[in-house]
Chains A and B, each alone.
Chain A
Amino acid sequence: MSDVVLELKDLHTHFFTDSGEVPAVDGVSLTVHKGEVVGVVGESGCGKSVTSLSVMQLVPNPPGKIVDGEINFKDENLVHASKKRMKEIRGNEIAMIFQEPMTSLDPLFTIGNQLIEGLRLHEKISKKEARNRSIELLKLVGIPRADQVVDEYPHQLSGGMRQRVMIAMSMACNPELLIADEPTTALDVTIQAQILDLMRNLNKEKETAIMLITHDLGVVAEICDRVVVMYAGKVIEEGTTREILKSPNHPYTKGLIRSLPNMKQKEQKLYSIPGTVPKPKMGRVGCRFAPRCEFAFERCFQEDPELFQLENNRSSRCFLNDETEGDVTKNAETTIRN
């Protein structure tokens, strides 16, 4: 398709530490289309943040390095882009918001200064124009008394307001892709609702594609069109939000959804996946989820499953989808039903 904004092909980002090579992102492929909101979901240590930092070439090097794969942003492979070109792209064509709005704003400069800096870096406009644009942007993201807030410092604002400023900053140059790394995790639920609402509106009005990194499946259901589930550095399942949440295919996704406390149901005991998320390490054989998986059979421990393509553009990295494994699949299905 021609409307692909971002395409990752078999991306490998490894960290070279004193205790060896750590494959934080171990072969991730995903696409983001124009005007689409894609959620990247996973627990801590699954490589979702490193994936997003890789796109922006913000992985600290050393120790981190993109060792293999392609990052295609509109027919341009960013892996080989020069530093100068990346500077042009960052903030202009691809923008990013981070989890902690306090640490991503400079405490020594006013909100206006920080907005104007970004604007003037990418566009040839006068200071006065940039200031007026900044005030407009602040109004756009719903900040009351925007003309005063421009001259205030980050510490004078609340967490929700700071995140709004971050969004204003990221929207300053009308980027084609917005990468949001856990944008609401540090916020309270009522503020989270406001920010999600704002992001949804910006996505509708400006057709900005959003790649939303989160661990919260509730947030995904609110805002995303498509979901990519990651586990231990790999994509394990992909599909539309509705299908993933309603009929997950991969045992990990199933377990994750079942272990959420539900406000509707009155179950006494929660389902829980035994064990913990494995640490990424080199030379791992077999499916990464196999040691925690209740359906695991011999093959899971010996071979690495491929990403099986299912109907409706879905895919799942699980041998249960392999038709040559007829018996095992049937057995697993009956277990699920019971």
Chain B
Amino acid sequence: MLPKMPKPLLEINGLKKYFDVKGGVFGRKVGEVKAVDDVSFTVMEGEILGIVGESGCGKSTTGKSILRLIEPSDGEVKFEDQDITHLDPEEMRKLRRDMQIIFQDPYASLNPRHTVEKIVGEPLLVHGMTSSEDRKKRVKELLEVVGLSGYHASRYPHQFSGGQRQRIGIARALANNPKLIICDEPVSALDVSVQSQILNLMQELREEFHLTYVFIAHDLSVVKHISDRVGVMYLGRMVELTDKDKLYEDPKHPYTQALLSAVPTPDPDEVRERVILEGDVPSPSNPPTGCAFHTRCPRAMDICKEVRPQFEEVEDNHFVACHLYT
């Protein structure tokens, strides 16, 4: 392990989330959607781990299962060496002081009937700051930390722009000095010029408060910019995980290669070998046998159709799930 990142803050082992599909006259279970299917990774203290993938690959479900906002079906989530999957709701509630989340849609994640003071102050109240004077002071502090002003506290969400609302969401997440923040597509709903403001803010906050982020996004250039390590997900499985430079310079998995080549770059001179994938992502309710990617993979072999590849370390700190490397 690298010396500056001494211990893991979060360990995920074999995380699974299957959603039941109900159907028929009696609403019996007729199938399962394997949203997250055996995902394992570790997040070090102070690190930013990016998770990328296309829609439906299970990246958001993974994020929410870590906080147990969605109850995982199987597997282990260890936060500071404590398995949190079996904690009772009360213990979990206390623990969420240290684990927070920022959502994608700043329009849907703030209660339109509450003032900013109530929105940001609520987590403080829940975690025991009963004096309303103290709360007011802390809310003001928080708003200034995220680049808003104290007088914004008495306003309602509709009076803010998208970027400002996302700042309020960040202030709410920071309220109780968390250790880990799950960021679920925090900048996808924002315009480019505002997106860069929020990304910069998140980086500053990380340094100031020694935060650890799990940064979920579908935009590969955003993830590359902010993360230390990046994991790529496809159809509920982690297919590749390594340092961001390694991933972008030497992608191993054919899916990662295709994904990277598909990103349009605003550079008219760039000549690239483009891999345009055929077809769509298969349905997670009926995933292909063996390697989930074999139906679209340009380099698929016979073994890929039958045996699911193991997620293994093929080089130092470079994990890949692909038969090409075993």
Are A189 and B259 in contact (CB-based, < 8 A)?
yes
B264 in contact with A196 (CB, 8 Å): yes
Give chain B's interface residues, CB within 8 Å of chain A. Answer: 54-55, 161, 163-164, 191-197, 199-200, 203, 218, 220-222, 224-226, 245, 248, 258-259, 261-269, 274, 276-277, 279-281
The 5 closest A-B CB pairs, nearest first, are: A218-B264, A261-B225, A188-B54, A259-B196, A217-B266
Contact partners of A173 in chain B: CB under 8 A: none
Q: How large is the interface on A (under 10, 10 to 19, 20 to 34, 35 or more residues)?
A: 35 or more
- Closest B residue to A192 by beta carbon equals B262
Are B262 and A190 interface neighbours, CB within 8 A? yes
Tell me the minimal C-beta distance from A307 to chain B in angstroms. Answer: 22
**A269–B276 Cα gap in the complex (Å)?**
32
B191 touches A43 (CB 8 A): yes
Q: Tell me if A218 and B276 are in contact (CB < 8 A).
A: no
Query: Which one of B200, B245, B258 lies within 8 Å of A269 (CB-CB)?
Result: B200
Chain B nearest Cβ from A38, distance in angstroms: 15
Partner of A262, one of B200, B221, B276: B221
User: Is A158 an interface position by the 8 A CB rule?
Assistant: yes
**Most chain A CB neighbours (cut-off 10 Å) among B194, B196, B203, B269:** B196
Please measure, in the bound complex, the distance between the C-alpha atom of A259 and the C-alpha atom of B245, giving whole angstroms. 20
For A219, list chain B residues within 8 Å (CB).
264
B185 → chain A closest CB, angstroms: 13
Contacts A261-B199, A263-B248, A272-B196 given; 8 further ones with Cβ under 8 A? A188-B54, A192-B264, A245-B268, A260-B221, A263-B263, A267-B225, A268-B203, A274-B197
Shortest distance between the CB of B136 and any CB in chain A (Å): 27
Cβ of A242 under 8 Å from chain B:
yes
Q: Which residues of chain B have C-beta atoms less than 8 A from A193's C-beta?
A: 261-262, 264, 274, 276-277
- In the complex, A259→B163 CA distance in Å? 15
A16 cross-chain contacts in B, Cβ below 8 A: none
State how many angstroms separate the Cβ of A230 from the closest Cβ of chain B. 13
Cβ < 8 Å to B, chain A residues 16-47: 43-44
- Given known A188-B55, A263-B248, contact A215–B192 (CB-CB < 8 A): yes
Min Cβ gap A138→B in Å is 15
B194–A220 touching, CB < 8 Å: no
> What residues on B are CB-neighbors of A257 within 8 Å?
266
Picked from B193, B218, B226, the residue with its CB within 8 Å of the CB of A273 is B193
A263, B220: Cβ atoms closer than 8 Å: yes
The total of interchain contacts (Cβ-Cβ below 8 angstroms) comes to 116
How many angstroms from the CA of A245 to the CA of B196 in the assembled complex?
18
Assembly CA distance A197 to B261 (angstroms): 13
In the bound assembly, the distance between CA atoms of A246 and B293 in angstroms comes to 37
B161 — which chain A residues lie within 8 A by C-beta? 276
Give CA–CA (A276, B190) in the complex, Å: 11
Q: Does A297 contact B (CB under 8 A)?
A: no
Is residue A271 within 8 Å, beta carbon to beta carbon, of the partner chain? yes
B192 touches A259 (CB 8 A): yes
A241 lies within 8 A of chain B by Cβ: yes
Residue A294 at the chain B interface, CB threshold 8 Å: no
Contact A190 B277 (CB under 8 A): yes
A222 within 8 A of B: yes
Q: Which residues of A contact B (CB under 8 A)?
A: 43-44, 144, 158, 160-161, 188-194, 196-197, 215-222, 241-242, 245-246, 255-257, 259-263, 266-274, 276-277
CB distance from B202 to the nearest CB of A (A): 11
Smallest beta-carbon distance A215→chain B, Å: 7
| Given A260-B192, A263-B221: A189 and B267 interface contact (C-beta under 8 Å) | no
B225 contact from A216, A218, A222, A270, Cβ within 8 A = A270
Known A189-B220, A221-B265, A262-B221; contact A160-B192, beta-carbon cutoff 8 A: no
Closest Cβ of chain A to B60, distance in Å, is 14
A207 and B161 CA atoms in complex are apart in Å by: 41
- Chain B contacts for A269, CB-based, 8 A: 200, 203
Partner of B193, one of A216, A220, A221, A256: A256
CB neighbours of A259 from chain B (8 A): 192-193, 195-196
Closest residue on chain B to residue A252 by CB atoms: B193
B218 & A188 in contact (Cβ 8 Å cutoff): yes
Q: Which of B163, B197, B222, B267 contacts A245 (CB 8 A)?
A: B267
Contact check, A261 vs B191: say whether CB atoms are below 8 A apart.
no
The reply to whether B191 and A272 contact each other, CB–CB distance below 8 Å, is no
- Residue pair A216, B195 in contact (C-beta under 8 Å): no
Closest to A271 in B: B196
The residue on A at minimum CB distance from B198 is A272
Contact check: which of B265, B276, B279, B281 meets A263 at CB < 8 Å? B265
Taking the closest CB of chain B, its distance from the CB of A184, in whole angstroms, is 9
Among B54, B226, B245, B269, contact of A189 (Cβ-Cβ < 8 Å): B54
CB distance from B265 to the nearest CB of A (A): 5
Nearest Cβ distance between residue B240 and chain A, in whole angstroms?
15
Cβ–Cβ < 8 Å partners of B218 in chain A = 188-189
Minimum CB distance partner of B296 in chain A: A190
CB pair B264 A276 closer than 8 Å: no
- What separation, in Å, do the CA atoms of A89 and B241 have in the docked complex? 52
